[in-house]
Structure 1
């Protein structure tokens, strides 16, 4: 695995970055709020901000069509988009911090592969709706991540960034092969699975958001708790132990947060790529390597980017719809290539 070199910023850069962190957090919070408004207002039928406000606050004074569109269709979808965006953004920052790999994303721990494998099993057992196989997806993500962590921790000294990445890639490859084999043998499962695996917010009601919200809330809490330890681990495990940091406990808390966040998000919406990979790099431009600021900024940027991608998917092929995962892939791939080229292969962690 290639680890890109770390650049130590100058003193002036540190002072400038430190002073801009609260402003960056405020700007990203406003961006997320604007994305929420766009998600509620824009679609096959565009509504004005006044109509959106009336439908939310005073439905009796709003048009019946606007109330139905906002409350029954767009509001549950927007809430789920905020939850999933927060989860994937924070999980991406944690993943890159724990593996010390700027190209890492939440799927590196086998989360997406485990969820996909479990969804196929659930479909074959008769769970043909999202409400039926969402728990299979979460259980698969959890078990795959626990297996990866157990394999990585099997050596003396516990899990390291390299062993976590290698174990994650191995388990992901194994589960992906098993999933493909099962799908090729059962066309009925393939027809159901392909609507989940593309990654989308459409077709999810308020019940789905309620199912995953407790797990995402717990994951965000663990991410905040784990952030100071990540700053110490970034100095190297030997230095971290020397200053009294419990490395194994910090790794376990971080992996637990990633599993809860990425597992719940994947279970609800399917695998959504590039979001957890790109967002931490955007946030790091404003916050620097301090994870106490990087994690919340990445979460807010993830929510804003996911909702904007969802809105674009509704607009570009109107009156049809392009799935969010496809939009993020189309936008995310060239963006990340440009990001790497602009930094000339150097990424600060």
Structure 2
């Protein structure tokens, strides 16, 4: 046990040192209402977590992990190829894993928070590993009109994926500071646009608006909350989609719904939750309420089914949000990874996660 503790401690120290060495100076954003005293802030202050609480959470992750947080058998994935994508109708959607969504809009392709690496981690020799391979590789993807980024955490901003996508992507649209990270990595600055909350841009016939979220940011020791986090409103004419990124529940959903709703589809995080960090990750009942606040028609639960990032069973997010939505007569779509979803005529899909347990 002592040797295991030592190995884990050394691993944590190595990752910390690595991320510290890989950090860089980000600019200040004095014109942003969200930026105060050198950091971005939520509308409400984040509750402080004491040292004991933090250590208890680390201990639970390292030594008291409950059974079932990782599937015992491979989860079903529907493989994709270029022919399948091109044959899909406009306004189709494909889940590629976690919060990575491939959208087909106006005959062009968009990606949200593309993560294709094996691990959601600063290093690929430790950290949360994928439950499944991506349904399609970056090499097989068609040209991408735009990548939409919500924030810079490792399960949403994948350095290797960004660098591989850079050559085939026309635009990278990100919150303040995240775009600077991309440029520092070597992405052509002419391709990068970064927005503050409530700012909009137009690209390939779409209107994209960065909207508030309740979260935090950072990839190392020196950049905590130095870049912004955001949700996104995607408008294709009168067709409207909401992408939550990562967020706790807050009254901003009502404000977004009043200004931009109703939404044909909301893609909202439902996974990696716990009451101890509910301020930054919603519980399933809060996901449902956020969808109602947004005045959404169909709900697509995301941020699940790919990485082990919490202490709940891996399939629990699907089960809980499905039951809650059914009780409120809310329409929920749960496609398999890689399965096409027609956003204009969605279907609920099968309860595919139940087959993994057989």
TM-score range normalised by the length of the shorter chain: under 0.3
TM-score, normalised to structure 2's length? 0.26
Higher Rg: 1
- Name the structure with the higher strand share: 2
Q: Does 1 or 2 have the higher relative contact order (CA < 8 Å, sep 6+)?
A: 1
TM-score, normalised to structure 1's length? 0.26
